[in-house]
Amino acid sequence: MKKRYWSIVMAVVAFGCASAQANNLLLNGSFELDSPTTGTTAPTNWNMTGYRGIVSAGYANGSTDGTNAMVFDNGTGSSTPPSGTHSAKIWQTVPTKPGKTYKLSFDWGAYHSSAYPQKLLVQVIGFASLVSNVYPAVGNDSPWTVWHSHVVGFVADSNHTTIVFADATDNGEVGSADGLLDNVVLVEEQFRVFNVDFSVNNPGSGGYTGFGAAPHGGTNWNNWAPGPKWDHNFSTPPFTATLTNLTDSYGFPGEVDLTLELFRPYDVGSSQGGMDAAVAPALMSDFFISSNVNDTAALTISGLDPTAIYDLYFYAQNGAYSNAITMFTVGSATKGVTNTVNASSFIEGENYVRFQSVKPNGSGQITGSAVTGLPGVNWVSWNGLQILEQPRPPEGMMIMIR
């Protein structure tokens, strides 16, 4: 009996930790396993064809993780083999689960001459070709290597998937600039995340792309712009609208819908008054307000999995003004932001609130609402939300915890 109890506790601990440190499915993704070489041998655990490709620690600002990076087409025309073909290609094949979402992230940089941009072809190949993207990078004399971080998501369609990085530089560069690759990480996403940016459809107002406060996920946001910025005319009817089939944070189609009742789009950002928020201005400077200053806006999220649990992140910042207190209610819980400053990062309780482990009803719906915390003084400012979906642990497992 004692042993049984222990094993159940361990299962819960493992579940709790699964989100924090997912394992890299690629081996030697930071290219740290080799002593830097000047030859053209494949890095440990990678396959390689073409040339030139080396592992190096000798570049200024030449890595983003550890000390080594993979360098494409180093050397000169008199190197053996010569620089200039830009034909090096490295790849690994890893086990994957069909239907699961994966996140591939990597840093790609160019060393030295800005006159010769370097290009990297990234391919993900399962049963079909899942990804084929080219990423340019432009170097500089200082800081010598200019890095960019990239994230790409895919849904596996096979029990094995091949990840390919190939030099795609096509400007004939020889001996003037090099391409550097580091910090390649492939993980299976444990959660799905749906992001929605509440926007206006005025020219110059934009949808956000990037990370929010929720852990994990890609950078895709559903940009919901149902109408222009409210014209301050109360005879303009407020909106009641539904956004259907949200795409997830990688842009893959989902089945989640949002309905918001009695709201008005509003914007104080660069194109509509110039009061941009310091953090994520495309998200945090435009927002939905309620139909009148003290009115409540009601939210219904539908199409959810009744067997899953959801963490909800609600964003509330009225651009650089930072003087709107928005109170959100989900179920019996009410949480508000303080919105005291034009914060330069996402701060829980300051510019967003989080409701954890919310269970949908049997029809797969969660309802909530927003109302001002400054009655008669200032309005709701609701910038958007993130919906993080995770499997619900078995009920019996929770009972054993004490």
What is the contact surface with Ca ion in residues (CB under 5 A)?
Answer: 30, 63, 65-66, 68, 73, 178, 182, 197, 199, 282, 286
Whichever of 65 and 157 has its CB closer to Ca ion, that residue is 65
Cβ proximity to Ca ion: between 110 and 388 the closer is 110
- Provide the pairing of β-strand 384-391 with 192-198: antiparallel
Pairing of strands 326-330, 333-336: antiparallel
In the complex with Ca ion, which residue's Cβ is closer, 189 or 197?
197
- Residue 328 region by backbone torsions, left for phi larger than 0, else alpha for psi between -120 and 50, else beta: beta
CB of 73 to Ca ion, least distance (A): 4
Report the Cα–Cα distance between both ends of the chain, in Å, rounded.
16
Task: Provide the minimum distance between the beta carbon of 307 and Ca ion in the complex, in angstroms, as a whole number.
Answer: 32
Distance of alpha carbon 396 from alpha carbon 398, whole angstroms? 5
Burial of 1 per CB tally in 10 Å (0-12, 13-18, 19+): exposed
Q: How far is the CB of 72 from Ca ion (least distance, A)?
A: 7
Which C-beta is closer to Ca ion: that of 191 or that of 208?
208
The nearest distance, CB 290 to Ca ion, in angstroms, is 18
**Amino acid in the structure at residue 100:** K
Among 194, 235, 238, 188, residue whose Cα is nearest residue 212: 194
CB of 130 to Ca ion, least distance (A): 25
Q: In this structure, what is the dihedral angle of CA atoms 329, 295, 221, 307, given to the nearest 10 degrees?
A: 30
- By beta-carbon proximity to Ca ion, the closer residue of 63 and 220 is 63
Q: How far is the CB of 83 from Ca ion (least distance, A)?
A: 5
Nearer to Ca ion among residue 30 and residue 272 (C-beta): 30
- Whole-angstrom CA distances from 134 to 23, 118, 122, 127 are 26, 10, 6, 21
Q: Which residues contact 211 (CB under 8 A, 6 or more apart)?
A: 217, 219
